[in-house]
Structure 1
Amino acid sequence: MTITAAADGSALGNPGPNGWAWYIDDDNWAAGGSPHGTNNQGELRAVLELLRATAGTDEKLLIECDSRYVIDSVTKWMPGWKRKGWRKSDGGPVLNRDLLEGIDEAIRGRDVEFSWVKGHAGHPLNEAADERANAAAKAYQAKQEPRRGPGFTLATDAGGAVAASAPIAASAAAPDSARTGGSRAVTTDDRRTSTVSAAAASAPSPAATASLAEPLWAEASDLLDGLDAPDDDPIELRIPLSADEHARLRDRAESQGVSLEEALRRLI
């Protein structure tokens, strides 16, 4: 049996009050955040807290996530970053190292698969996680305590099987796929799945990284995302904006209810 969950993050201002949430069903979810952080930090924290919450089960975990940065960091770039002492190709430090190291430890020895879903596109689990992450960010903005949720309440029997009805299953994968080193990427119109085993996430060998079938995106100063890197590291794309350009981008993001980087990505 597979446990299917969504993980999502939110930031008001980016950086600003941020929130994170993971969601399986109404009886199994959690949320939190901080007074100051980025959207990417919220996304990573949601995955980390989900992995920690479900650590007591042996079931496969399918994580629906609308952040390509998170998926690529965990399934593709982390082995290279670890080889280089958590340094990028230019010698600079990897952003959000503490969260990535936590995920690297929490995922070890587990069967975990990531499924990219388009945000704000009606995916039920993603929408539920997004709603809770946004609520947590708004709570911190108002200097209030967010709703934390019940946590992971699915009971397991002695054999480790989940004693609950199966959550919403992932949509059927398209037949075309790319495979490298035992990891798998499948693409459909608005969904991608990437499987990462503990060995793939932890081993330093380049063969343990996932090969994804579409252009991928990386973090750049927590505002802009860069093009997919040819090796283990993302290429950072920096674009200077005038005050007027930044204001127009902010207005566009607010009108769409998305972060600045998501609004910019939609223009590409």
Structure 2
Amino acid sequence: MKVEIYSDGSARGNPDGPGGYGVVLRYVDSKGVAHEKEISAGYDKTTNNRMELMGAIKGLEALNRPCEVEMYSDSKYVISAFNEGWIPKWIMNGWKTAGKKPVKNVELWKRLLAAAEPHKIKWNWVKGHAGHPENERCDQLATAAADGNPATLLHDDGGDLK
């Protein structure tokens, strides 16, 4: 099955403000019927990069079988990590950067790798806030989640955000 996943993350007052992610999944079934699903959630204190990662994670975790995935994100942090080979280098260096510093958000990177493992994924960067309809919708979902009622926001304790 071929699936398109669009994801975005948002944080207000990065790094200690509320944040959220938004995801749009789209596929056409064997009968030619288009299906779409939207996913979002907000957190009380988080970072933009964590929310960008969570969008990609939640999109992939929503799939219930191996798929061919076109992943779209405006996060160069996420897309470049795959397309420019950062992740294998981090792993080879014990999850340290080229500058010998610990990779930030390592638990989310590991979760993303686990979610990506059964799929064949093409990682595509799209320019944010440039009129791309699905990216704009993901941004709306992410910012609405970040701006949600504080009582409904989840707590990002720096753990795995499950």
How high is the TM-score relative to the length of structure 1? 0.51
The equivalent of 1:115 in structure 2 is 124
Is 2:144 aligned against 1:135? yes
The equivalent of 2:31 in structure 1 is none
Q: CA deviation at 1:2?
A: 2.2
Query: What are the residue-to-residue correspondences of 1:207-226 with 2, within 5 Å?
Result: none
| Counterpart residue type for residue 37 of structure 1 | T
The equivalent of 1:103 in structure 2 is 112
Relative contact order (alpha carbons < 8 A, sep ≥ 6): 1 or 2 greater? 2
Percent identical residues:
35
Unaligned 5+ runs, structure 2: 27-34, 154-162
Q: CA deviation at 1:92?
A: 1.2
What number of residue pairs does the alignment pair up? 143
Query: What are the residue-to-residue correspondences of 1:200-211 with 2, within 5 Å?
Result: none
How high is the TM-score relative to the length of structure 2? 0.82
Retained in 2: the 8 A contact 1:24–1:125?
Answer: no
Secondary structure, counterpart of 1:72 in structure 2: helix
1:175-208 C-alpha deviation (Å, 9 max, x unpaired): xxxxxxxxxxxxxxxxxxxxxxxxxxxxxxxxxx
Hey, what's the Cα distance between the residues in 2 that align with 1:94 and 1:74? 14
Query: What are the residue-to-residue correspondences of 1:31-110 with 2, within 5 Å?
Result: 31-54=40-63, 56-75=64-83, 76-110=85-119
Secondary structure, counterpart of 2:52 in structure 1: helix
Hey, what's the Cα distance between the residues in 2 that align with 1:90 and 1:114? 25
Unaligned 5+ runs, structure 1: 147-268
Hey, what's the Cα distance between the residues in 2 that align with 1:144 and 1:135? 14
In structure 2, the CA distance between the partners of 1:108 and 1:58, relative to structure 1 (3 Å rule), is closer
Query: What are the residue-to-residue correspondences of 1:144-163 with 2, within 5 Å?
Result: 144-145=151-152
